[in-house]
Amino acid sequence: MEDVIVELTFLGTTSTTGNCPNLYLTDRGTYVVQGTRVVDPDALRVLRERGLPINEGAVEIPTELLGFASKEVPCTVS
C-alpha cells in the first residue's frame, strides 16, 4: 500500500494557547479539522446510526472556527 502525502495549509484557530482547534486546507481542495475527539457514548451511537464507520472518528469544534473556511474551496486536483 502506497503512502498518500497531503500538503496542509494552516487557515486559522480559535485557540488562545496555540493548540487546537485548528483548520487546514489540503492540496486536494478539502479541509482537515483538528479538534476535541468525541468520546461520549450517546453521541457516538447517534453518529454510528447515521453511518459513521467504526474506523472513523469525529471531532467537536466551535462554530467560530468555520469562519476561516472559504465558501469556494480552490480545487488544485486535476
Round to whole Å and give the CA distance between 39 and 77: 34
pLDDT on residue 35: 94
pLDDT on residue 78: 44
3-state secondary structure of 42: helix
pLDDT on residue 61: 94
pLDDT on residue 14: 93
Round to whole Å and give the CA distance between 7 and 2: 16
3-state secondary structure of 77: coil
pLDDT on residue 51: 97
**pLDDT string in tens for the chain (78-residue length):** 578 899 999 999 999 887 889 999 999 989 999 999 999 999 999 999 999 999 999 999 999 999 999 877 655 544
Q: What is the value of pTM for the model shown?
A: 0.77
Which residue's C-alpha cell is 486559522? Answer: 12
